[in-house]
């Protein structure tokens, strides 16, 4: 709770607005009071002003950013779903199916490479153009030439833009829209999981099952060889020391559709960009924070449960007997040699899953700052502080 007092200040400026009013804007250069979890690294971005964070929250949660008004950033990165969308593969605002599973935004500020397959895409500002403006596939379907004018015509926004960018004579610009959303996204921070409390010395923070799972994770099973470090996404050596500050790209043996290690052609991993055969099926190792809430799992959402994932690792790769892409991933020549399989009892599997579930911050979704400020469509929600969106 203490860590979030600063963010609570941000909340106050929005929740003070009555329905439709939304005129109380935090001005000046007051910075968000960042009081990070004590064991977290330094915040790697400039701490935003409160005004900018407020604006970013509005923009992040507003469906009107989508070309057809059916998507917001926040609905595809929903807190209760671990800041993902619950789809196997994302579905765009125009109904088109994507080829990859939506990634979580939790602790995005420390992410590094942002997508499943593009190591060079590390800048949030640049990455945002993919969901906002991308056409292949369409995600939000926004038009950069039209969006600023559309927002300028909504009475809610001009005061917020002026407060967030007081020195800009034309503050409602695409650059500022992206900048404000980045500011907000970097504040999606969760660091109060049972595991975090254990790391900070609270010996009883983990249940016995969770503790046993942790021992397996960092011990015999060496899951931290890929899922190491504070965010459980960095490679470590045999002693558990992080050996790189960027995640690896790994083929975990999910597919072998042709007997030669092939993947379904719509999504082949790094290979699609490099053309290098050994890059077939290599995807960025994701952080495991919040993993229990972010299913379905895997780069294409084809894992249906955490137990299924553990089974695949224990087997040394996943075998698909049916479905469109049968094959034995364990025999893929492109599979990472660390995915060698291991023996695991049912009890041990349960412990391991319990530990993964202990990586969820139970309060991460409850913080008002991370909720949408807009009223839901359904009447009688009792939320008198939300902003009404006029049809």
Partner 1 sequence: MRSCLLLSALLLVACGDETDKSTDDGSDGTTDLSDDGGDDGSGDDGGDEGSGDDGGDDGSGDDGGDDGSGDDGGSGLEMGESDSYAAMGCDLLDSEPERLVLGISRSEANTAVIVPDDETAFLLEMPETGDGWFTVEVPDWMTVVRLFTQEGVELEIYGGEGFSEVLLNGACPDAGISDQRWAFHEWGAYNIRVAEGAPAEVWFTLVKEE
Contact residues: partner 1, CB under 8 A: 85-89, 91, 95-97, 296, 301-305, 308, 311, 320-326
Nearest distance from C-beta of residue 158 to partner 1, angstroms: 30
User: Which CB, 296 or 373, lies closer to partner 1?
Assistant: 296
Long-range contacts of 304-310 (CB under 8 A, 24+ apart): 306/353, 306/356, 306/357, 307/349, 307/353, 310/344, 310/349, 310/352, 310/353
Tell me how far apart the alpha carbons of residues 305 and 313 are, in angstroms, rounded to a whole number: 13
φ and ψ at residue 311, rounded to 5 degrees? -60, -40
The angle that helices 346-357 and 208-218 make with each other, rounded to 10 degrees, is 100
Tell me how far apart the alpha carbons of residues 51 and 48 are, in angstroms, rounded to a whole number: 8
Nearest distance from C-beta of residue 296 to partner 1, angstroms: 5
Place of tokens 């800041």: 83
Is-contact 388 19, C-beta < 8 A? yes
Nearest distance from C-beta of residue 59 to partner 1, angstroms: 21
Nearest distance from C-beta of residue 65 to partner 1, angstroms: 18
Is-contact 267 261, C-beta < 8 A? no
User: Which CB, 249 or 325, lies closer to partner 1?
Assistant: 325
Q: Which residues pair with 228 in a beta bridge?
A: 234
Nearest distance from C-beta of residue 73 to partner 1, angstroms: 15
Nearest distance from C-beta of residue 377 to partner 1, angstroms: 8
Q: Please name which of 363, 368, 376 lies closest in space to residue 12, comparing C-alpha atoms.
A: 368
Tell me how far apart the alpha carbons of residues 157 and 380 are, in angstroms, rounded to a whole number: 25
Q: Which two tokens stand for residue 342?
A: 């291991």
User: Which CB, 213 or 295, lies closer to partner 1?
Assistant: 295
Nearest distance from C-beta of residue 325 to partner 1, angstroms: 6
Tell me how far the alpha carbon of residue 173 is from its chain's centroid: 26
Q: Please name which of 213, 225, 230, 221 lies closest in space to residue 250, comparing C-alpha atoms.
A: 225
User: Which CB, 97 or 170, lies closer to partner 1?
Assistant: 97
Nearest distance from C-beta of residue 89 to partner 1, angstroms: 7
User: Which CB, 302 or 365, lies closer to partner 1?
Assistant: 302
DSSP 274: H
User: Which CB, 97 or 276, lies closer to partner 1?
Assistant: 97
Residue 228 DSSP SS3: strand
User: Which CB, 323 or 337, lies closer to partner 1?
Assistant: 323
Sort 389 into a burial class: Cβ within 10 Å, 0-12 / 13-18 / 19+.
middle
Residue 229 Ramachandran class (φ > 0 left, ψ -120 to 50 alpha, else beta): left
CB atoms within 10 A of CB 9: 17
User: Which CB, 33 or 319, lies closer to partner 1?
Assistant: 319
User: Which CB, 78 or 248, lies closer to partner 1?
Assistant: 78
DSSP 250: E
Nearest distance from C-beta of residue 324 to partner 1, angstroms: 5
């Amino acid at each position: 709770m203490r860590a979030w007092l600063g963010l609570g200040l941000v909340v106050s400026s929005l929740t003070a607005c009555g329905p439709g009013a939304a005129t109380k804007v935090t001005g000046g250069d007051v910075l968000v009071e960042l009081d990070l979890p004590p064991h977290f690294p330094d915040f790697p971005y400039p701490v935003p002003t409160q005004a900018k964070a407020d604006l970013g929250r509005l923009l992040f949660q507003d469906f009107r950013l989508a070309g057809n008004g059916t998507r917001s950033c926040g609905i595809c990165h929903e807190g209760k779903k671990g800041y993902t969308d619950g789809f196997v593969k994302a579905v765009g605002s125009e109904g088109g199916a994507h080829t990859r599973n939506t990634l979580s935004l939790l602790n995005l500020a420390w992410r590094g490479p942002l997508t499943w397959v593009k190591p060079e895409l590390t800048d949030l500002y640049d990455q945002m153009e993919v969901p906002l403006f991308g056409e292949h596939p369409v995600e939000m379907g926004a038009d950069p030439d039209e969006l600023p004018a559309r927002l300028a015509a909504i009475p809610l926004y001009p005061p917020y833009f002026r407060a967030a960018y007081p020195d800009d004579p034309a503050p409602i610009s695409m650059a500022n829209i992206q900048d404000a959303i980045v500011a907000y996204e970097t504040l999606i921070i969760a660091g109060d999981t049972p595991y975090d409390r254990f790391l900070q010395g609270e010996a009883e923070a983990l249940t016995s099952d969770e503790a046993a799972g942790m021992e397996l994770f960092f011990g015999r099973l060496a899951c931290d060889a890929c899922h190491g470090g504070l965010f459980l996404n960095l490679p470590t050596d045999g002693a558990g020391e992080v050996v790189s500050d960027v995640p690896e790209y790994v083929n975990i043996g999910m597919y072998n559709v042709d007997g030669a290690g092939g993947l379904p052609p719509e999504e082949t991993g790094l290979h699609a960009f490099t053309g290098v055969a050994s890059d077939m099926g290599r995807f960025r190792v994701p952080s495991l924070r919040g993993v229990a809430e972010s299913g379905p799992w895997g780069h294409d959402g084809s894992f249906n449960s955490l137990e299924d994932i553990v089974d695949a690792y224990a087997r040394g790769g996943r075998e698909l007997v049916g479905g469109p892409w049968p094959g034995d991933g364990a025999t893929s020549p492109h599979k990472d040699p660390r995915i060698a399989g291991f023996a695991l009892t049912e009890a041990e599997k349960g412990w391991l899953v319990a530990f993964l579930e202990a990586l969820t911050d139970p309060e991460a979704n409850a913080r008002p700052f991370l909720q949408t400020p807009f009223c839901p469509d359904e009447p009688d929600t009792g939320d008198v502080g939300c902003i009404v969106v006029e049809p």
